[in-house]
Amino acid sequence: MGIEFAGFVWEGVFWFLLGPVGLLILFWAVLSEGRSQYVLLAVSAIALLGFAIVAEPLQHRELRFDSSLSDLPVEGLIDRAATKARSQERPVVLYFRADWCSHCEELEERLSVGGVNDLIKSMLLVRVDLTREDEYRAANEILPL
């Protein structure tokens, strides 16, 4: 896994640092005079071009939640998820979300990024939807949030 920034990935520090270094050289070229200005502009253009060419967009993958558990009501869900995870000898991840929760959407986006998704696909993912207030209260009684 490389360096992630602004929706892109660079494989290695060298390729990532070409961008900031290229910008610094560009500013230096703007401030300098004479023939050196053109040389610095050329070096800056090469560095920024390398930075842009090597960058790859982040790959987002769909999260795969256990649908047999995710559709159940909150009561008893945690026990069933733990039992199923024990029988499959996998760790369980309870993903609490609600339609009104902006942080939940951000977390789901981060979990769907390629490298993170590869790490969690060996786990039993269970989505607990707390959109309705009564579900939130029930979940809060079982497992305080």
pLDDT at 21: 93
Q: How confident is the model at residue 104 (pLDDT cuts 50, 70, 90)?
A: confident
Distance separating alpha carbons of residues 106 and 98, to the nearest angstrom: 12
Closest CA to 97 of 86, 105, 87: 105
pLDDT at 145 over 60: no
Selected residue with higher pLDDT from 47 and 3: 47
Count of alpha carbons within 13 angstroms of residue 81, beta-carbon side: 24
Distance separating alpha carbons of residues 10 and 14, to the nearest angstrom: 9
Say how far residue 75 (Cα) sits from the centre of its chain: 30
pLDDT at 63 over 60: yes
10-36 average pLDDT score: 89
Burial of 61 (0-12, 13-18, 19+ CB in 10 A): middle
pLDDT at 32: 87
Domain 67-142 fold: Glutaredoxin (3.40.30)
Closest CA to 52 of 4, 8, 106, 1: 8
Q: Any idea where the domains of the chain sit in the sequence?
A: 3-57, 67-142
Cα R_g (the chain), whole angstroms: 24
